[in-house]
Each structure stands twice: as C-alpha cells, then as structure tokens.
Structure 1
Amino acid sequence: MSTAELPARSRAPWWFNLAGQLLEPWLRLRRDPAEPATLLKAGLPVCYVVERDGFSDALILERACREAGLPSPMQPLQGTRRRRSMFALVRRDGWLFGRNRHRAPTETLSQLVRTLEADPERDIQIVPVSIYVGRAPNRESGWFSVLFSENWVMVGRFRRLLALLLNGRDTVVHFSTPVSLRSVMTEAGDIQQPERFARKIARVLRTHFRRIRAAVIGPDLSHRRTVVDSVLNAEPVRDAIAATAARENISPAKAWRKAHDMAMEVAADYSHPVVRSVSFLLSNFWNKLYDGIAMHHFDKVRAAAPGHEVVYVPCHRSHADYLLLSYQLHQAGVVVPHIAAGVNLNLPVIGPVLRRGGAFFLRRSFKGNALYSVVFNEYLAQLIDRGVPIEYFIEGGRSRTGRLLAPRAGMLVMTVRAFLRAPRRPVLFQPVYIGYEKLMEGKSYVGELSGKTKEKESLIGLLRGLKVLRQRYGHVALNFGEPIELNPLLDAASPDWRAASADPDAKPEWLNGVVDNLAEQIQVNINRAADVNPINLLALALLATPKHAMAESDLLAQLELMKALLEELPYSDRMTLTPMDPAGIIAYGEQMGWISRVRHPLGDVLTTDGEQAVLLSYFRNNVLHLQATAAWVACCFLNNRRMTRASVLRLGRIIYPFIRGELFLPWDTEGFGQQVQATIDFFVRRGLLEASGEGRVLERGPGQDDAAYQLRVIARSLIQAFERYYITIAALVKNGPHVLTPAELENACTLTAQRLALLDELSAPEFFDKALFRGFIQKLRESRIIWTDGNGKLDYDAALEVMVRDARVILAREVRHSILKITPGGDSDKEAGEKEAAPAVTEPPVAAPVPDDASAEDLHRRHVDAEHHAHEHETVRPVDTEAQRDQEPRA
C-alpha cells in the first residue's frame, strides 16, 4: 500500500506530539517485518490492537506506523464513533507505581461487531502489534539496562519509563498478519450475543500475544513455587506421597514436606533479568577467553523448531558447554533452554545463579528413592507440557577422552514417557557438536584417566581453577546436526503408540527399543556435524608417528592429503572443515603452543612433547570417526604389500560392527562397504595404492616410499583400537572358556593395556579406558560371539578363533606377542588361537600368472595358497620383517 492510498491522518493532541518529540531521541525502532504495509489489504479500515495498555506503547506504535507508511493509530476509526484506531487487551490502573490491572472490557470489540452487523458491506482489519523494549541488551549495555529489559510482568508506568530511557534503542515492534473481522463473523455464523462473541475474539488475541511473547523472550514460568505447586498437585505425586507415608509410617503432612523439599531442590527458578545479566557478563568473558565462537547450520534449527518441543542434546566435553550453548542461543534471539545439571553443581553462590539461569538439578542416582523419582519425572513432564525448551547431556558426564561416550538413556526415557502422557506438541531432539581447540579441563582429564581420583566440585576448587582463565583457548564451534523427530520413531515402533498415553504408568514393551534407537541416532548425528579445526588435523598427523615429530615437508603433505580426503569424500553435509591451508595450519598450531619447531639444516622438524602429545590425543579423538574408513583401508596395508579389494571389504565387514559401536558411525554394513570402495578409489587416484587386474588387486609401494609413509600415518590413528580388540580376545582365549566373568575380563584388559602403554610409551590415555573395553565386550555379547554360562562365566564361539586369525593381517607379530606375553592368565605364552591359523593374506612369493577372467575370490585364494607355501617352506621373508622396515625412522 502506498502512502497516497492511505486515509488522511488526523492531528493528534498537542501533548501527545510533544511527548513523542521528547521521547524520540531515546528510541530506535526495529520493525518485524521491515515493511508491514505489505500485510494490509488496500481500502479497508485498520484497527491496531496491542497487548497492554500504556501511553508509551501508543507513542511507539504511532512512530512505527509513521515510519512504515501505515495509517495512524491516533486517527478516528472510519465508519465508527471511535476516536482512535487502536485499543489494548489489558489495562493498567494507578500512575507512577501502580501495578493493579484488570483485563480491558470488550466494549471496543462489541462496538466493532455491531457496526459490521449494521452495515453488511463494511469490513475492518484487526492488526495485532507486539511491542518489546530491551529484549536483548548488547555488550555495551549497563547493568540497569539488563534489569529493566522486557519480561512477562506488567510493570508500572515509572518502571516502564526507566526501561524506555535505558533500553529504548533496542525496541522491537512486531506486526502480525491482519485478521478480517468480517471473515471471523462469517465463520462464526449467526451472532446472537455480540458481547459473548467479542470475548471469544479477545481470548484468541490473548493466546496470540502469549505465543509471540514466548517465542521472543521464552515461556512464562512465573515463580518456582508455581511450578512446584503444579508438581505436588499432580496425581502421580499425590499417590507417591501417600505410599511414602504408609511405607515409612509417617504422617501425610511430613511426607508432603519431603516431596516439597525434593521439588524445590530440583526446580529451576528462571529469571529473565538474571539471564540477561549473565549474558552481559559472558560477552566480556568469552572475548577474553576465546578468539571466536562460530555457529553452523543454526538457520536450519530456527526453521525446524516452531511448533515443536525442542530438546537440545549436545556432546559434553567441558563445563563451558552449557554456558556457551545457552549464550549463543540467547544472542541469536532464541529462548534459552532449561538445562539438566548434576546436583554436584548446586554449590553456594554458583548454584542459585545457575538455577535462575534455567538449570534444574538432578541426583546421580534415583535408586531406592521412589518419591524422588516420581517428583523429578513430574517436574520434567511439567516443563514439556508448558513448551519449555530443554537441554541435557545423554553421555551422563564429560568425556575424558574426546570420544563420544556410550549414552545413558535415563533422561531420554523420562522425556519420551512425559510426551506419551500428553502428546500435544511434537518433540524434536536437536544434536549439537561442540568443538574446542584447547580445553580448560585438559590436564585434569589426563590425570583422571591415569588413575588419579576425580576432584569433587566445590567453591574453593572453582576459585583455585580460575587461574586457567589467564590463557587463550582459540576458537569454538557449535555445529547443529540433523534434528530427530520423536513421532516417526514411535510410528515405526508401534503404529498405535498413542494408546499408551491413556495410562501414565504404562511402560510399553517397545519403549526400550525406541529409546535405544533414539540414543544411538543422537550420537551418530552429533558426529555427523563434526567441525574439523587445525588442531584436530595436527593431532591426527603428529600422533601417528613414533616420536610425535614430522619433517615440515611431510607434515605439509599429510595435512593436504587429509583435507583433500574430507573434501572429496565428505562425511556428511553438516561437517565443517577449516579453510586454512597446510602452511597456515602449522603456523596456527605453533601460535597456540601445541607444536614447536626444531631448526635443522636439512629441513625443520615439527614436534610436540610428551605432555602436549597426551593432551592432543583428546582433539584427535574428537574427529577420529571422520577418518575411520580411510584408516581401515590403510591398516590393511601396514603389514601387507598387496591385497585384493575383496579381502579388504570382507575383513572390513567383519570388524565394522565393533568400530561402528565405538565411534558411532552412520552407515550400515552395505553403506560401509560403499565407503571403503570410494576410499580405495581415492587412494588410487592419489597414487597411494596401485590397482591391477581390472582393479581387483591393490598394492602399495615399499616401506620408505612417500605414499607408503602417508598410508602408515593414516592407519596408525585406528591401530590402537585393533590392539584393544586383540587384548580382549587374547585375554579371553588365553584364560579359556568358563573362567572369567565380564567384570574380570574387563579388569584384565585394562591392566594389560596399562602395562603395554608403559612399555611402548603410548600417548593415549584412552588406550586403557575401561569404558572402551566394556563397550567392545558388550558388542561381542550382542553378536553372540561370547556369552555367559549359568555361573556368570564367559564362554565363546569358534568365531573368536577366526577373529584371532584375521588379526594377523592388521597387527604386527611383535605387537601380538607382546600382548600375549603380558596378558594375565594361562600357563603358556604361546600365541592363543594362532597355532592352527594361517595368515589371511600376504604378498605371494612368486608372481603367478592370473587369468583375465579370474574372479576376485579366485585371486584371493591364489594369494592365500602362496602364503601357506611361503610359511611352510620358509622361502620368503616373514611379513613382519616388511612391517619392521616400514617403522624405521624417516629421513
């Protein structure tokens, strides 16, 4: 609508214009949308409706309409007796400090309805306008600006004046799509009582304003006591209180007080002023701590979130995780989620601030406390029912190794059951990958993995830890992964899942399967959104060398190769990769203090010392999954010059379920095979492998060749996983069936790995992480390769012997013998399970002619036969001699 088409403006009272001129220097308006005139229908009278009555709102609206070329709200409404073209849903009584209010009478809407009834040709368009003063004060804002920003409370005129003076330059005027009053009346049919119809329209408008306000500043949680009252009045909690009173032989009042104390311990006390105050503090804090915080794919989150209950499920690597995510969401104009935090963080001073920032606290275990379990479940259900966004870490704690931990499904189960109880708003799980270049907790993680006791959180410990703030920690990336909707998972598990909502205590048999699938998919999608920073790439390269050192020319070539691999075969469309070139990556690593340069006449050497190397393993593990396929292919050529493509694929399919379970890889077995094929083709294009026999036979160069060296560096990033697998199998086979329990096997593996790390100077504390051994043992049990007998002891299938045999393809003989020598159990150091096993594939001693029409399997059999012949007659050098030569220092 052009300005010429607008009706003539009437002149506002002189005192109104004077007030507008006085306020104008303090106001800076942002319209949403920027051109609201495009929303209006030409030729129809316009009546604006605002949420709350206020002189300042009228001034702001009049100015916004003037700047946008809209009809003035101060002119008479055409065709009616109204002197103004605006009204408010809620009026306020009192003057300076008055805060008594009542809802505006519906006379205005009733008058409009009667006007249209009297003239069937007339129509009026109602335009809802939301006005927010100081929603998000910027970094330069002062403390008072933060405290007087917009919230759910209808404040008095004096407080509103202060808000305008302090935050008026950050005022948002949101114009909603106009509503034709005539159309609403037509849909309603015959209107017998205009007043009743007007009340109905007023309710619809109030609901509309609440939704807009919730989207802008978050849902109205009122006071913590309000939520706690709702929890205590819920039927499941009342039943649990009665059961507790009867079981513990106490009065119902005392049982109620116990439940009340538990609810108060759990519940957040969300405060918009506190959130804005903390945001103000963190702006300066992050600038001093980090060189930058980047968010990727957030636009996709913003597009998918409306209409959903959003549950943020990030990886957990630092105490800074929840602060970073909440801060970035707030800065992006999105509601800050309520965060599930361990009760150990409910410290003096810190706890109340976290609670007012949206943290709700939970105990580490609910076992043996039925009342607490019911109270916490009901509180979570109340949050979901109210549409409050939530955040929690399904790993249960911070990762000490840099890998994703096996998920703990407790919070997921409670979330799903809360949704089943009241499936009004679909639930959307939003995975988030958080990538660092340096961690504040790095040294403490290494100490804990090395056996030191984890320090309990305390205020004194926090104050002592403030010294880490003197350092710089580089850049941080928050990558938002592919969201996961709950409804499709429920539909796939049980088409009639909605029937489960009839009984809040029901636990359908399909529930555990849905939760397990959901947990795995969350971890997979977190890994798919990985950010590859310069430190990740340096760690992958340098930690793959025996002394954690590389000639600068070799490091440049290795970094270029790894970047090319990720660019040509991207892990997913959500993965991000540093734009730095190899030379820039090295310079950045030196600047961050991760690597150092040793000058030498024959060429500089880049190295990292022992302690730094251990810390770097964390950042290698962050992105290890991205190189898993390439590392597998390269591992096949550590001890073998030549293999068939079919053998690489066959062995890969055997080992893949275990790699997938450890690294949360996204493909099924067939998809992994396709990735292996694509990776082999990449290596062939790059000259790291040579293909012959129509691509069926693959061969690498000799040990000192540049291509073989690059393959070896890639392979060593995954070789420790295979060594851990072999330790587990060797310990089980060496002790024999029906000897070890799963816990005893896990302990034996951990001790073996610790000793091997001491002997071989491995710089990866996660090598002897119990959780990784536990996960592999569990995968063996799920695959029915091992199982427990009636006495809880482990027995195993013949497939375990096959895995021992296949390990000879990957692991050098010296490594296998070292593992078997120090593995506890048994009376002999003879290599378990290998006495009857022939090597799977090696380089044939004689290059026998191969028919043109030979299949890949025929070719593989020829190689195996040649290998048998070589070992029986000892006419060729053992394969491990080649491996030993490959490990010699590179000039």
Structure 2
Amino acid sequence: MDAQESPPNGRTPGASPAPASPTPPAPEPHRTFLSRWFEPVRVSRDAGAELSALAARGSLVFVMRSPGLLNFLYLRWFLRRLGLPTLRAAQGFPGFFGWIARVRRSRRAFEDALATGDASLLFLGRPTEKDPFAALVRIQRDLFQPVFLVPVLLVWSRRAQKLKPSFWDVLYGSPEAPSAFANAVGFLRNFRHALFDVGRPLDLQAHLRERPDEPDALAARKIRGALHQHLARVFRTAVGPPLKAPSRVREKVLRDRTLRAAIEAVAADTGRPAAALAAEAAKDLKEIASRYDPTFVGLLRGLLAWMFGRLYRSVEVDEAGLARLKRAAADAPVVLCPSHKSHIDYLVVSWLLYEHGMTPPHVAAGMNLSFWPFGPIARRGGAFFIRRKVKGDRIYTAVLRAYVKHLLRDRFPQEFYVEGGRSRTGKLLAPKSGLVSMEVDAWLDGAADDVLFVPIAIDYEKLIEASSYVRELSGAEKEKESLRGLLGAATVLFRRYERLYVQFEEPISLRAIASERLGEGAAALAVDDAWGGEGERIARGAPAEGKRALVQALTNRIAYAISRAVTITPVGLVAATLLSHGRRGMTAAEFARRIDLLRYMAAEGGARFGRDLAGAPSDPRQPGPIADAVRRLALGGTVRVEVAAGDTIYLVPDEKRPVLDYHRNAVIHRFVAPALVAAALRADGGEVPLLVLRQRALWLSRLFKLEFMYRGGTAPEEILQQNLAFLVRIGAATRDGDRVRPGPEPDLLAFLAELLRAYLEAYRLAATTALSVLSPEAGGPAPAATDRRALVREALERGRAAFLSGEIQLRESLSKATLENAFEWLATQGVIAEDGGKLRLADADGASLRAIVDGITRHSAA
C-alpha cells in the first residue's frame, strides 16, 4: 500500500472527543419528545454497525443489570432510531412503571419476539423460580437462528460507589443498583453527559453447541453469572471501583505482607526499630499516594475541554483503538503507557478516557511536579508522585511496590511513562523498566489474573515546550517546575498549537508474554525473583534471570509498540526532508519527490498518517497539508522560501534547524532501517561485498542502540535483506549476486544516508572529545573535567567551534541529549570507565576509542 492509499484515522475535531451518536432518521411525531432528551446520550462509535450485523444473523436479546423504565425507554428509542428490530418484550421488569409504559412482560410475548426476530430485553435483577434464562436456553435449542445475548449499560451518573454508604447512597441507592427515584434524578441532571455502552455479545447457539450435555438449568445459571460479571466490569470501567477512605487505603497498603517483610529485613540488617521503619513507611506512603476524587474530576472535565479547544485546532483520536481499550478494561486491569513529550500528556489521556466513558487513570508523576498548587490538584485527579532516585532506599521502594499492588488489585487504571521523563529530542527515549517490574511483581503476587499494558503515542504538530527544549539541548540547565513557571505557562492559552494526535496500540497481555517467553516456567516465577536490591536477592537465594528477562522483554515490546503508533504528521515529513540534505537549499520538485519517498516508506511499514494526508499532494506549491505545514514554518521563520530563476527553493536557517529537528526525530524511526543500510553502502562509495555491507549495517545499528527502537523477533539477516530489496526497488542500490553497489538513483541513496548524519556527527564529537580530554599523553585533564556532565559541556563547546569552522555540518548535531547517549554508549562498550564519578579511558592508549572514531568517520563521509 503506498502513502496515497493509507486509510485516514478516526478523529475528534475541536475540543469534544466524545464519539458521536449514530445519525438518526427523521424523527417521528410520537418520539420527538424522547429524542430531545435521548439524543445527547453518548454512544460508542461502532455500536450501531455491530448491532446491525448481529440482527442480520439472528435475534437480539439485550441484557441490563437492574430494571428501570428509563432504561427500557432509551433502548426502545435507540433501536428505532437506527432502524434495528423493534423492542417487543421485556422480562424481569416487575412493578407499576412497567404496566404504565405498557411493556409486554409475559413469557409468551418474549417467546414470540425470539421467534419473529424482534428484539427483547432481560433485566438481571434477582433470580426467580421462573428464571427467563432457563426458558431462553430451552427456546434456543429449538430455534434454527442464533440468539445473541447483548449486555448493554446505560450510565446516567458517574458517581462512584463507596464501601461505606453515604447519605446520598441511602437516599438514591448505590450507583450499581439505583432506585427509580435516583434514575429519574440522574437522568434530569446528567442526560447531556450520559453514556450508553454495548458489551461483548454472547452467541447462545454456539455456547450451547460447545456444551451439548450440560443441563439447561446449569447452563442458564452460568450464562446469567457470566453476564452479570461482565456488566459489573463494564460498569466499573465507566465509574471506577468502589472508593475507599484515605485511612482505609493507608491501612491496607501498610499491611501488605511484602512491605512488612521488607521492614523486618531492614530492621534486622540495620538494627533500627521496626516501629521507626513502619513510621517511615507511613510517611513515604503519604508522599506517594493520590487523593482521587471523581467529583473533582467531573468538574475539571469542562475546564480541560475549554483549554484543549483553545490550544489546538483539533484533537485527533484513534477511535477504534480507544474502543478496543474500553473492551480490554472490562477484562483485566489496564496500565496505559503513553509516549512522553509534553506536560499536556498528563492531561489529555485522562480527559479522553473520561469523555469516552472510562475511569481516568492513576498517573505516576515525578516528585518535581508536586509543588503547590499543582500537586494537590493533580493528586485529586489521580496522580501519585514518585521520587526520581530511589536506589538504596529499601523502605521507599517497598512502599511504592505495595501501593502499585493496591491499585492493581482494586482494578484502578494506571498510567506511567516507560521513557521515565519527557523527550526533548522528539524521538522515544530508551525505556526504563522500574515500574514495569513493579507491575509484574504485583501480578506474580496474585493482585490480578492478568495485566494489559496499552501503548499510546501522543504527537503534536506544534509543541508548547519547543523553545525550552532547544535551550536545554544547547546546554542550558532544565528549569525547575514551580508556581511561577505555572503562572507563566498561562500565556500559552493565547496561542494556537495546531493538531494533537492520540493513537492506541493493541493491549499487551502480561500473562501471554510470560507464557510465550517462559512456557511452563512462567508458573514457577515468584515475586522474590526481582525483590528490592541485590542484597535481598542474595539473602533470599532467589534467581533473578527469568523475571528480569520477562520484564525487559515486556518493556521493549511496549516501547516498540509506542513507536509503531506514532503519527506521521505533515510537519514531520517536511522536517525529515529539509534536514536530510547536504546542500543549502532544495527545489520544490526535489522536495516533492523526497516527500513521496518518505510517505511510501512509512505506508509500507503500516504507519499511521496525520489528518488529510491520504491522497494529498506532496508538492509544497499545491494546496494541501504539506503546503500548510511549510507555510506555518515559513511564517515562524523556521523555513525560508525563495524564488530564483523561476524556481521555488526551500532553506532552513542554521539557528532554526534544532527546532525542526524535533519534528524530524518524531518520525525518523520509520526510516531508520533502510537509512542504516544506505549509510553502510555509501561508506565506500562503490561496489561492496554483501558480507561487508551486513557487517557495517550491524555495526551502525549497535552504535545507535540507545537512539532507536528496533524490531524484535526478526533475525538481522532477514532485516538486511528486506531493506536492501527496498533500496534496489527504488533505484538507490543495485545487487549482482553477493555484490552491492549504488544504483541509478544515487540522490535517493544519499538522502536516506543523510537521515543519520546528525547522530553520526554527535557520536563522533563525543568520541573525539573523550579521546582528547581523557588521553594521558595530552597532559591529563583537569580533575573537574573528568565527570560526565563536565565532559558533555566540553563536547558542546568543542562542537560549537567545529560547527563554526565547518568541520561539523549540522547545527542539530550539537544536542546535549544525543551527546549524553553517546557517552553512555561508550561506557557500555567498555571504552571509557567511571570510577567514583570520574571518567577515564579503559585502555591506556585509547586504541578502542580510536577504532570507534575511525568507524564513525567512514560512515559519515559525504
């Protein structure tokens, strides 16, 4: 599929991301009044199509939890509105209101509806001697067409249930079983924000066919129980689990057996009183725990809707992925794992989930964000705060693990960022496994049968923090979050930041990953396999390799899935095109050709494209999203557009390249694999044996292992062959048996190789700086210049001189984040060593480091 054929994403224009209800036919006079009240109810996007498909195959029997006239009236109105089979009968609806509404409640009416293909409704209520499910099973055995049991939920109020009933629970009934009076009040107060959700249908015919010998009464009880449990989970997905008082949560977490074992172990090791350690644990928990308040979240929803409406032209939402998440949340606890590029990330996911009828997540946030007043507000919205550095603090780590286990056991959705912090460069940061490990520990300890990790990509066409990121990447220190900074951030409300994209990948099952990787060995894993610090593991004699491998595999899979969900935006394509160019400017024709190539490559890899890109022209002179992106960049001074000799030429001023580099990095992962092969082929400039090409491409991929996420589960040889075949297909390379050389389109080969130049120049700068500063023959460095931060500062200063003199071509090569990764990579390769915070060369003559410099130089030569 080429880029022009890529399907458009589901989207949510403006500031209202709730899925629209299906468009009704012209209202009939007898239901005009009901339409006025029922039309604002929010319905999942695919509900109508799904029900229509089921109705074409058999009879629909809807199942609701508790009887209510409003429930019946809404479902009847909804089915008529979509032209679906009419709701003819209802079972389990006793009382006066059913008689007033003339609901057909007899067993004969129910059987007639099934026989004629009309819809009917079952209220679960309490089982009776004349259980309608038993009759339904008997009827299905005699029917040719299948009966589909469709659990549906109508939520008028998002009021969460409490373990200790409040005055309102006594008056209105519990949220799970409200009184008729409560239903009426909830309808009148909240009909504009009510939700109608369709659960997972059960094919009764197929269900009974799989159990031919099961008695009807037993089958009916099991079906009733399964539907009741499913609806309970769907309901909790919408309003959340029962809320506990903060004192109850504190008591429960501090009683956790693993935490108590940690306190006893630390007391034995240090001689500190267990009571003092328990008090420390209580203090740590107070520092960590959220103060989630669903009423406050409901009030905040309107403010966030207004804010997003002002900030963005639209919030583009992957509606199908969100519906998939909603279904998954009814099956198992979910852990949301978004990419992290902006402080907006904290807000947008919670807002989207609430708008789409789900409980907002408990979000793991850095302790740096707990300042007043943001901290208390965020805690009430579900944030819990974590220290950045906890190594060696065994009590704090045990408290955090116990709190995560509590959230998982109570089925609260959670959210954390596997990157650890915000990406200043635009690309995904190397994933951290700390919180993933805690979730795995909680699962192993029996907190849940399974845990579903949901990778999410959040992308911006224009970033609020862009200017501060450029300063930090140039070497400036990160500004500490504070009230002053929060007040200053209010100025962003007077600006427009184009579109925001939120994409959801398939949920990743922890249980499935464990079974896939470990087989029967998954059942033998225990919490102790990765308990606390190394001291505890040794003391307990517990092997850690199986658990550690599982955690790392899961973390890598989450990170790679996030990268696959990233949206290819018009500004990302423009940035990748303009920055991967060795000359000063680019003509419009060349610009369009390269945009076409990038779109083709991304579409082949199954990428998701930004709004309106499908079928749009790549030529920046023709109206469309590419032209709009160039125009906005030109208005901001990031791109210059010149006309000379009748041709339009596009240039990027040197000082603006780091701004554009952010957007290039956001999409570069889609093009890295062929770029690595292109750079390896171009290294010699002529014909090269396939074996040498393979070695060089592998060397480059290892060089950048901290920069990019690679596809797992595929052999390097297979990846090389696929990407080499692609280069041959576009004319960038020619292959003759085991010999490869540049093809008839050398400019395309150069373009792809140039995608990596900024990284090659940065890594070469880091290596040459380390070689120069740390080499003994250079006279020895000053003591202050041997720690890692000082070495980064030295590299930035040397890089500035090299850029001004022309030795370094690209301004974006002088990136603090990339240099930090480069020094970390050199340390992992063992060519530099760190002793007591000071760096030194691992070998006295620096031969290993010189070999790396030579390798980078070979691949970065133009």
Q: In the superposition, relative to structure 1, how do residues 586 and 373 fare at CA in structure 2: closer, same or farther (>3 Å)?
A: same
Alignment of 1:806-821 (within 5 A): 806-812=855-861
Q: Which residue of 1 aligns with 2:101?
A: none
Give 1:537 shift. Answer: 1.8
2:115 equivalent to 1:109: no
Structure 1 residues 471 and 238: alpha-carbon distance in aligned structure 2, compared to 1, 3 A threshold: same
Q: Which residue of 2 aligns with 1:831?
A: none
SS at match of 2:647: coil
- Partners of 1:565 and 1:249 lie apart in 2 by 61
Determine if contact 2:195/2:357 at 8 Å carries over to the other structure.
no
Residues 1:725 and 2:759 are matched in the alignment: no
Counterpart in the other structure of 2:284: 262
The reply to whether residue 604 of structure 1 matches residue 642 of structure 2 is no
Structure-2 separation of matches of 1:675 and 1:174: 43
Residue in structure 1 matched with residue 619 of structure 2 by the alignment: 582
- In 1, Cα distance between equivalents of 2:647 and 2:307: 41
* In 1: Cα distance, 2:87 partner to 2:132 partner: 27
State the 1:224 CA deviation. Answer: 4.2
Matches within 5 A, 1:790-829: 793-796=840-843, 802-812=851-861
CA contact (8 A) 1:419 1:427 kept: yes
2:760 partner letter: F
How far off its partner does 1:415 sit?
1.0
- Correspondence 1:754 to 2:793: no
Q: Bigger shift: 221-230 or 55-64?
A: 55-64
Question: Are 1:417 and 2:431 counterparts?
Answer: no
Query: How far apart are 1:630 and its partner, in Å?
Result: 3.9
2:639 is aligned with 1:628: no
Kindly indicate whether residue 763 of structure 2 is the aligned counterpart of residue 715 of structure 1: no
Q: How far does the alpha carbon of each residue in 1:405-429 deviate from its partner, in whole angstroms, 9 at most, with x for none?
A: 2222211111111111116422232
Distance 1:23 1:451, change over 3 A: same
Range with greater deviation from structure 2 (214-223 or 518-527): 214-223
1:231 aligns to 2:231 (yes or no): no
Counterpart position of 2:564? 528
The 3 A distance-change label for structure 1 pair 77 and 262 is farther
Out of 676, 680, 700, the position equivalent to 1:655 is 700
1-structure distance, mates of 2:202, 2:701 = 54
* C-alpha distance in 1 between matches for 2:122 and 2:720: 67
SS at 1:377's partner residue? helix
Equivalents in 1 of 2:217, 2:356: separation in Å? 46
- Report the counterpart of residue 165 of structure 2 in structure 1: none
Measure how far apart 1:210 and its partner are: 1.6
Tell me what 1:820 maps to: none
- Measured at CA, do residues 597 and 235 of structure 1 come closer, stay the same or move farther in structure 2, by a change above 3 Å? same
Amino acid in the other structure paired with 1:366: V
Q: Match of 1:278, SS?
A: helix
Task: Measure the CA separation in 2 of the matches of 1:317 and 1:648.
Answer: 35
Q: 1:205 to 1:153 in 2, by over 3 A?
A: closer
1:811-860 deviations in Å (ceiling 9; x for gaps)? 44xxxxxxxxxxxxxxxxxxxxxxxxxxxxxxxxxxxxxxxxxxxxxxxx
- 2:455 & 2:226 partners in 1: Cα distance? 35
Equivalent residue runs for 1:419-818 within 5 Å: 419-422=443-446, 424-481=448-505, 483-491=507-515, 492-493=517-518, 495-501=520-526, 508-545=544-581, 549-567=585-603, 570-572=604-606, 578-579=613-614, 580=616, 581-583=618-620, 584=624, 585-592=626-633, 593=636, 594-635=638-679, 641-644=685-688, 646=690, 647-666=692-711, 668-684=715-731, 688=732, 691=734, 696=739, 698-699=741-742, 711-731=749-769, 735-736=774-775, 744=787, 747-748=790-791, 751-761=794-804, 767-769=813-815, 771-779=817-825, 793-796=840-843, 802-812=851-861
Read off the aligned partner of 2:489 and give its amino acid letter. Answer: G
Deviation at 1:211, TM superposition (A): 1.8
Contact 2:587 2:647 in 1 (8 A): yes
Moved more, 282-291 or 304-313: 304-313
The offset of 1:335, in angstroms, is: 4.2
Check the 8 A contact 1:540/1:717 in 2, yes or no. Answer: yes
What is the SS of the residue equivalent to 1:662? coil
Contact (CA 8 Å) 2:676, 2:701: kept in 1 or not?
no
Counterparts in 2 of 1:794 and 1:486: CA distance versus 1, 3 Å: farther
State the SS of the aligned residue for 1:623: helix
Change over 3 Å in CA distance of 1:232–1:542 after alignment to 2: same
Aligned length in residues: 742
Kept after mapping to 1: 8 A contact 2:786/2:840: no
Letter matched to residue 800 of structure 2: A
The one-letter code matched in structure 2 to 1:373 is: T
Which residue does the alignment assign to 2:315?
A: 293
Q: Could you tell me whether the CA contact under 8 Å between 2:787 and 2:839 is conserved in 1?
A: no
User: Take 1:251 and 1:807, find their aligned partners in 2: how far apart are those partners?
Assistant: 56
Report percent identity of matched pairs. 27
Q: Secondary structure at the match of 1:510?
A: helix
Residues 134 and 168 in structure 1, CA contact (< 8 A), matched pair in contact too? yes
Q: Which residue of 1 aligns with 2:333?
A: 309
Distance 1:236 1:344, change over 3 A: same
What is residue 374 of structure 1 aligned with on the other side?
398
Relative to structure 1, the CA distance from residue 759 to residue 388 in structure 2 (aligned partners, 3 Å threshold; closer, same or farther) is same
Q: Is the 8 A contact 2:264 2:274 kept in 1?
A: no
Q: 1:69 aligns with which of 87, 97, 102?
A: 87
Deviates more, 1:497-506 or 1:587-596: 497-506
Q: Please name the residue that 2:37 is paired with.
A: 26
Bigger radius of gyration: 1
Amino acid at match of 1:339: V
Q: Is the 8 A contact 1:532 1:576 kept in 2?
A: yes
Residue by residue, what CA displacement relative to the aligned partner does 1:58-105 show, whole Å, maximum 9, x if unpaired?
66578779983321444564499xxxx999777xxxxxxxxxxxxxxx
How far apart in 1 are the matches of 2:575 and 2:122? 64
- Greater mean alpha carbon deviation, residues 734-743 or residues 607-616: 734-743
Task: Please name the residue that 2:539 is paired with.
Answer: none
Shift of 1:248: 8.6
- CA shift digits 1:564-616 (9 cap, x unpaired): 4444xx33466779433232413432135342423445433323344432211
Residue 210 (structure 2) pairs with residue 210 (structure 1)? no
Deviation for aligned residue 1:367: 3.9
Residue identity matched to 2:627: I
What is the distance in 1 between the residues matched to 2:438 and 2:651? 48
**Which letter does structure 1 place at the counterpart of 2:337?**
V
Alignment partner, residue 17 of structure 1: none
CA distance in 2, matches of 1:500, 1:109: 45
* Corresponding letter in the other structure for 1:282: L
SS of aligned partner of 2:384: strand
Provide the C-alpha distance between the structure 1 equivalents of 2:488 and 2:497, rounded to a whole number of angstroms. Answer: 18
Deviation at residue 475 of structure 1 after TM alignment: 1.8
Residue 39 of structure 1, CA deviation? 12
The gaps in structure 1 that reach 5 residues or longer are 1-19, 91-105, 138-147, 192-196, 702-706, 813-882, 884-891
Question: In 2, distance between residues paired with 1:379 and 1:717?
Answer: 44
Scaled by the length of structure 1, what TM-score is found?
Answer: 0.70
Deviation at 1:340, TM superposition (A): 1.0
What are the residue-to-residue correspondences of 1:140-219 with 2, within 5 Å?
A: 152=175, 160-168=183-191, 170=194, 172=196, 207-219=229-241
- Alpha-carbon offset, residue 205 of structure 1: 6.8
Give me the TM-score of the superposition, normalised by structure 2.
Answer: 0.72
Q: Does 1:344 align with 2:368?
A: yes
Matched residues in 1 for 2:788 and 2:468: separation?
28
CA RMSD between the two structures: 5.0
Q: Give the Å deviation of 1:636.
A: 5.2
Deviations 1:143-179 (A, max 9, x none): xxxxx99994666666543321233364637687598
Gaps of 5+ in 2: 1-30, 99-103, 110-119, 160-170, 532-541
Which whole-Å CA distance do the structure 2 matches of 1:121 and 1:290 have between them? 52
Q: 1:556 to 1:157 in 2, by over 3 A?
A: same
